[in-house]
Amino acid sequence: MRVGISCVKCKGRLWCGKAYCPILYSFKIKTKIFNEGKEHFEGYSLPELLVGWRDYPGVKVFTLAAEEKNLKSEEEMYGLKAEEIIRQRAAMFSGGKRWNVKKRLEEKLQELALSKKITAVDMEFEKILKPRMVFDSYAAPMPLNAKLKNLELAEEPKIPKIVEKLSIEPIKADEGLEMLYEKNFEISYISRIFSSGILGIEKRLVPTRWSITAVDDIIGKKLIEKVKEFRILDEIRIFENEYLGNKFLILFLPKEWSFELLECWYKGSLWQNAEDEVNQDHEFFSGRKSYAENTAGAYYASRLAVVEYLCRIKRQASVIIFREISNEYNIPLGVWVIRESVREALRKRAVKTESLENAMEFIAGRLNTEITNWLKKSAILDRIKKQRRIIEFIRQ
């Protein structure tokens, strides 16, 4: 248990010492399920594999399916309303079983997890559970239905050759992830591959919430090494986007690589019942040496989107993201919301300013919370301020 830790920092990681997160649990009760318990189900798998993290290494493994074929990946869900996302997820069926992460996943479950196309499945359940939704701050919402007795694939899954190769050869996990990313596979698919336990030397299952952040972090670091070799951006750029109660203002400064995520959760939003609070995590040119505990998975998801953009324009910059979360974002949908929102922002036309002061004036006018609250917390802006003081002192 961590004494004095706020919900806005914990985000369901059980730092409070409780057996479950009261906030996430409350959504299980409130959310309407659109399917009924069944002993047998025929339908289509996204495909999707979810590996639990509680009771590790004896985790629960679930596969999801739906009656209709119009299923969407995380990347494809971007732009939908929260109600539409939950409705799609709540209409699914899930079958699961307990599994030790050291054991290779049974063949049919693994084939389904590795498939790149929607696959027809036949699921038989051993025990019918009362349908309910499970919410997590990292992964998309999922239904929890029953213990899986048997799984049959009604058609051949489509598994890319490189994935089959990685499942056999003893290639390090980070190298495998980089190979998949370079082949332009979606991040959601790469995370599923990592979670399924086919990568690495030991080839173990990885809990879904861990695999999501690990993929964002590992691929992000690979791209950062490339970014550091690029010329420094020669202008100030500001990008903006808003989605599901998340407002993003992204500031690019013409300096060597550094990154910072500042978050302000409104009072009454998902994790915040107290006054508005700004949290932050950052890294300078030398990188981070510890997990970004204040902003968690959002840090790595947003950083990946930023370095993807810098690689596209072949420049390096110092980047600050101002993320403002209103009470419209009142149910957890996963960090894909952050990654895809930042990606979308960076597809738009940038606002360009001549000075940092002008940039901050613009950002202050777009934020709903007082800019001084953000400035007090920013490590990058504080460093710039100190550097200016040193230069002014030398010039005297």
Lookup: tokens for 357: 């002061």
Mean model confidence pLDDT for the chain = 85
With a cut of 80, say whether residue 128 has pLDDT above it.
no
User: How far apart (Å, rounded) are the C-alpha atoms in residues 49 and 101?
Assistant: 14
Do 169 and 129 fall into the same domain? no
- Residue 325 tokens read as 């979360």
Q: Residue 379 belongs to what H/E stretch?
A: helix 379-395
What domain range includes position 121? 7-153
Beta bridge partners of 265: 277, 325
- 383 and 241: one domain? yes
Choosing from 179, 208, 227, the residue where a domain stops is: 227
C-alpha distance from residue 288 to each of 175, 259, 327 (Å)? 20, 10, 31
Domain-located, residue 2: no
Radius of gyration of the chain (CA): 22
Across-strand partners of 132? 144
- What does the alpha-carbon distance between residue 219 and residue 94 come to, in Å, rounded to a whole number? 30
- Whole-number pLDDT of residue 139: 74
Rounded mean pLDDT, 120-132 = 76
**Helix (H) and strand (E) counts in the chain:** 14, 13
Nearest to 317 by CA among 261, 216, 247, 234: 234
Final residue before a domain boundary, out of 194, 227, 260 = 227
For the full predicted model, state whether its pTM sits above 0.85: yes
| Range of lowest pLDDT (42-46, 235-239, 280-284) | 42-46
Count: domains in the chain: 3
Asked if residue 239 and residue 385 are part of one domain, the reply reads: yes
Same domain flag for 125 and 264: no
Together in a domain, 244 and 363: yes
Same structural domain, 91 and 223: no
Question: What's residue 252's pLDDT?
Answer: 99
Q: Do residues 78 and 203 share a domain? A: no
Backbone angles phi, psi at 154, to 5 degrees: -80, -10
Most confident region among 138-142, 330-334, 367-371 by mean pLDDT: 367-371
Choosing from 153, 183, 201, the residue where a domain stops is 153
Same domain, 306 and 272: yes
What pLDDT was estimated at residue 129? 58
At residue 294, does pLDDT exceed 50?
yes
pLDDT digits (tens, 9 = 90+) for 354-383: 999 999 999 999 999 999 999 999 999 999
| 161-168 vs 107-114: helix crossing angle, rounded to 10 | 140
